[in-house]
Amino acid sequence: MKPVLELRDVYRTYRIGESTVQALRGVSLTVEAGEFIAIMGPSGSGKSSLLQILGLLDNPDKGEFYILGHDVNTLSDDEQAGLRNNVAGFVFQQFHLLKRMSIVDNVRLPHIYSGLSGNFTEEAKKRLALVGLENRIGHTPNQLSGGEQQRVAIARALIRDPLIIFADEPTGNLDTKNSLEIMKILQELNEKGKTIIMVTHEPEIATFANRVITMRDGQIVSDERKDGASSPVAGYKESDIDSLGGRTGSLWKDRRFIGFTVQAFQAILANKMRSFLSMLGILVGVASVIAMLALGEGAKKAMQEQLKSMGSNMLAIMAGSSMFHGAAQGSGAVARFTYNDVDNIAKITPLIKNAVGGVSGSVRLVHENRNWSSNMGGVGYEYGTMRAALPSVGRWFTREEIQARAKVAIVGVTVVRELFGSTNPIGRTIKINRINFTIIGIAPAKGFSGPRDEDDMVMVPVTTAMYRVLGKDYLSTIYAEVSNPASMQQAKSAIDALIRKNHHLKADDESFNIRDMTEIQQMLTSTTQTMSMLLGAIAAISLVVGGIGIMNIMLVSVTERTREIGLRKSLGARKSDIMLQFLVESVSMTISGGIIGILIGIGMSLLLSYFAGWAVQTSIYSILLASVFSVMTGLFFGLWPARKAAELKPVEALRYE
């Protein structure tokens, strides 16, 4: 039967600042199954370093170390973590209990890293009953005395039914009464076959052991057995550790992920104010993303509605140069279009679908004791459909009214507000340049186009405008609807050639211009998209700032919880376990902030819409984008703290002050 533990000529050296400390100098030791060993010696003798190497918390610099005949020096860090979880149970002088967890959760903590199914609550309660704490199950460590906390630590050490129990000064922080109770528990465990290796500096505590090893200056100076003491053999075999350290499998990963998620929220709730302040950056960032994208989408939708009013695939043929349109020009500089031009353009098939002429001018409107200066447009029958101008209330002009030069008008909502207030204007009479007109409709609201109010207008039949109001015998504008957007440039060339031919204009004559409405639409659409991206980018900066805050607080958390990390590693946590735990905690924090931020962002959008009157539209895309961004922020900014935590050595982490 091979010994449980065997050291052969082991050395361990530490560097403290610029000095070197030789903790172990050629130590050789054999531990048989069922022994109760007390390691004694003055401070600095190397007894704790020996215990840490035996418990796989540290590795020797030189020498051989075997567990049931297996060479430990050939094992990776993760394989050694697996051995710690299955072979070793640790009882520390400082107890190392997690105060935010109940004592039941503390006891069953090693099972998170075991790979076994089940939550082991009942088993944890049995272990607590074994150490006399069955009546304290619902308590947390802060509600227990020092002796009771040490009993919880012993119960935790027993939960995996380890081969060996390592106790580092288990009574160092206890009074005499509690010390004796703890030692009686360890003695009873030894009598049941457990191998116990204990470090102590108290001779009266060492009397409970059946083998006492004394160390000085990193060497064993004596190794004494009590008279008549035997080493009960527990029947350990090499096969007992053949599979240890090889925990893999998706089920285990799923279970540990759930366990880490629960513990992540326990850690978040343990520091509520700090967690909230850490999440605040993510919360503001996500809320900003939602609100800004909603504002951008709303502006885009409003712009699309405005673009509809321009008509689809529309060309506007206007008198005068495109550069100086509207400025005073000399004689012959402005083309004067006729109905013949409109008819000829409409006959350009199949390029042109429809064409209509119009005139415009400034007018004075009067109703009773109110008057208003506005813009008048004389329009043809097809204009309403081509320019999406059909009245929202009332009706459009009939062909007969246009032919008869009828004195009927369609007014915009701004004119209605200024002249009629909240009164329905349909059927009422207004004076346009002192001529009475009957209102037959209200044009659909279009909003502003740059500085111009598109709703501050009045439309009348084109013949009425020309011959009754403005005194014109020519058209100033022709609108042509192109059949296919792909033919837009071809249609422009055909119309340009036709106008020049009809009016005998030279190729360089700029007395008219053709405006492509689709170019304006594309420009406005591009501007809106750019604005949306800019707003989203500004909001994303808030997320990045929030992520930096998360990373900062996670780094602080790693520093504050260094001993906890050491404890988890002593219980069998691998590097990947520690990384996953802190990543889950970081992502949980960002997701929590993200969810709250989504709700606040939607609320902000509604408030902007209600109080400011801005057009907003919250989309599923923006919510998904903010959610994904918050998760990625947690992963990205949590990766460095998680890796820093995973790289900590168990023994160094447990010693951290």
pLDDT (tens digit, 9 = 90+) per residue, 121-143? 899 999 999 898 988 888 999 99
Shared domain for 487 and 529, answered yes or no, is no
3-state secondary structure 482-540: ECCHHHHHHHHHHHHHHHHHHHCCCCCCCCEEEEEHHHHHHHHHHHHHHHHHHHHHHHH
Shared domain for 190 and 280, answered yes or no, is no
- What was the pLDDT predicted at 244? 45
DSSP-assigned states of every residue in 123-161: HHHHHHHHTT-GGGTT--GGGS-HHHHHHHHHHHHHTT-
Q: Does a structural domain hold residue 312?
A: no
Structure tokens at 248: 């893999």
Q: Which residues of 247-265 are buried (b: 16+ CB within 10 A; e: fewer)?
A: beeeebeebbeebbeebbb
**Mean predicted confidence (pLDDT) in 375-400:** 92
DSSP-assigned states of every residue in 361-424: EEEEEEETTEEEEEEEEEE-TTHHHHTT---SEE-PPPHHHHHTT--EEEE-HHHHHHHHTTS-
* Region of poorest pLDDT, from 53-57, 193-197, 289-293, 423-427: 289-293
Percentage of the chain modeled with pLDDT above 90: 37
Shared domain for 157 and 212, answered yes or no, is yes
Computed on alpha carbons and rounded to an integer, the radius of gyration of the chain in Å comes to 43
**Mean predicted confidence (pLDDT) in 232-256:** 46
Shared domain for 568 and 471, answered yes or no, is no
**Mean predicted confidence (pLDDT) in 19-26:** 89
Q: How far apart are CA 7 and CA 29, in angstroms?
A: 5
For residue 387, pLDDT beyond 90 = no
Neighbours of 327 (CB within 10 A): 9
**Mean predicted confidence (pLDDT) in 527-555:** 76
For residue 396, pLDDT beyond 90 = yes
Q: Does a structural domain hold residue 429?
A: yes
- What was the pLDDT predicted at 229? 53
Q: At residue 365, what are phi and psi to the nearest 5 degrees?
A: -105, 140
Shared domain for 538 and 495, answered yes or no, is no
- What was the pLDDT predicted at 274? 77
Shared domain for 197 and 277, answered yes or no, is no
| Contacts (Cβ under 8 Å, ≥6 apart) of 477 | 316, 317, 318, 319, 337, 357, 358, 359, 360
- What was the pLDDT predicted at 269? 76
For residue 524, pLDDT beyond 70 = no
Kindly report the average pLDDT of the chain as a whole number. Answer: 84
Shared domain for 37 and 146, answered yes or no, is yes
Q: Does a structural domain hold residue 512?
A: no
Q: How far apart are CA 475 and CA 377, in angstroms?
A: 11
Q: How far apart are CA 251 and CA 190, in angstroms?
A: 35
Q: How far apart are CA 105 and CA 125, in angstroms?
A: 10
**If you count DSSP H runs as helices and E runs as strands, how many of each does the chain have, helices first?**
20, 22
Shared domain for 353 and 444, answered yes or no, is yes
Range of the domain at 433: 336-504
Q: Does a structural domain hold residue 442?
A: yes
Contacts made by residues 364-373, CB under 8 angstroms, sequence distance 24+: 364/431, 364/432, 364/433, 365/415, 365/419, 365/430, 365/431, 365/432, 365/458, 366/430, 366/431, 366/434, 367/419, 367/420, 367/428, 367/429, 367/430, 367/431, 370/418, 370/419, 371/419, 372/415, 372/418, 372/419
* Confidence category of residue 657, pLDDT binned at 50, 70, 90: low
Closest CA to 302 of 615, 640, 639: 615
| Tens-place pLDDT, residues 414-423 | 999 999 998 9
Shared domain for 447 and 537, answered yes or no, is no
Q: Which residue has the higher pLDDT, 267 or 146?
A: 146
* Confidence category of residue 360, pLDDT binned at 50, 70, 90: very high
Closest CA to 71 of 8, 12, 118, 150: 8
Shared domain for 500 and 359, answered yes or no, is yes
Helix H or strand E encompassing 580 = helix 575-607
Q: Which residue has the higher pLDDT, 16 or 428?
A: 428
Q: Which residue has the higher pLDDT, 295 or 170?
A: 170
Which residue, of 247, 277, 312, is where some domain finishes? 247
Q: How far apart are CA 107 and CA 148, in angstroms?
A: 13
Structure tokens at 272: 């509520």
CATH, residue 72: 3.40.50.300
| Contacts (Cβ under 8 Å, ≥6 apart) of 365 | 371, 372, 373, 374, 415, 419, 430, 431, 432, 458
Q: Does a structural domain hold residue 240?
A: yes
- Residue 12 near residue 60 (C-beta atoms within 8 A): yes
Sign of the torsion formed by the C-alpha atoms of 92, 95, 99 and 101: positive
Number of domains, the chain: 3
| Contacts (Cβ under 8 Å, ≥6 apart) of 187 | 36, 208
- What was the pLDDT predicted at 324? 42
- What was the pLDDT predicted at 423? 92
- What was the pLDDT predicted at 399? 94
Shared domain for 343 and 394, answered yes or no, is yes
Q: Does a structural domain hold residue 509?
A: no
Q: Which residue has the higher pLDDT, 248 or 421?
A: 421
For residue 81, pLDDT beyond 70 = yes
Q: Does a structural domain hold residue 554?
A: yes
> What's the one-letter identity of residue 316?
A
Q: Does a structural domain hold residue 254?
A: no
Shared domain for 572 and 630, answered yes or no, is yes
| Contacts (Cβ under 8 Å, ≥6 apart) of 603 | none
| Contacts (Cβ under 8 Å, ≥6 apart) of 641 | 551, 554, 555, 557, 558, 582, 586
475 three-state secondary structure: strand
* Region of poorest pLDDT, from 112-116, 484-488, 559-563, 595-599: 112-116
- What was the pLDDT predicted at 231? 47
* Confidence category of residue 209, pLDDT binned at 50, 70, 90: very high
For residue 478, pLDDT beyond 80 = yes
